Amino acid sequence: MDKADYKVICDNIAGISPYIRFVGVISERGDLIAYKRREDLEALLDAKSTKYQFSHIAIKTDLESFFDENLGEIEFVWEERKKVQIISFAIGKLRIWISIDKKVIRSEILRIIDACLPIVKKYAIG
């Protein structure tokens, strides 16, 4: 995959729902490779906090790989926080990190997850 593929992933996922705030592709080192942010929003994290968040994702991804043989690879993780909901998907050692408005009903989150899975699987194979 190259940078154009990462941009397509972000664009395709961002187009799934108007409730998606941000989509980013995070490298195994915690670098933001590509992203798309909803235009009408202000970021919840400043630049320094964002870097820490993505570094945390990279470390967590590396640690989680120890359990892959016994539990299988992670397909997605869904976090509910006080201000936002987060879903992350694995494509190899990369993570697709998606933040979603907090006030979204759970059935919409499940719809977003279901719509993301074919996109993620396409790039995991290819």
Q: The tokens of 65 are what?
A: 């790989």
Integer Cα distance of 2 and 110 in angstroms: 29
pLDDT in tens, 83-106: 999 999 988 888 999 999 999 999
Which structural domain, as residue segments, surrounds residue 42? 3-125
The reported pTM is: 0.86
Integer Cα distance of 66 and 73 in angstroms: 10
Token pair 């942010």 is at which residue?
37
CATH number at residue 60: 3.30.450.30
Domain count, the chain: 1
**Do the Cβ atoms of 26 and 95 come closer than 8 Å?**
yes
Mean pLDDT along residues 46-65: 77
pLDDT cut 70: percent of the chain above it: 99
51 or 89, which is more confident: 89
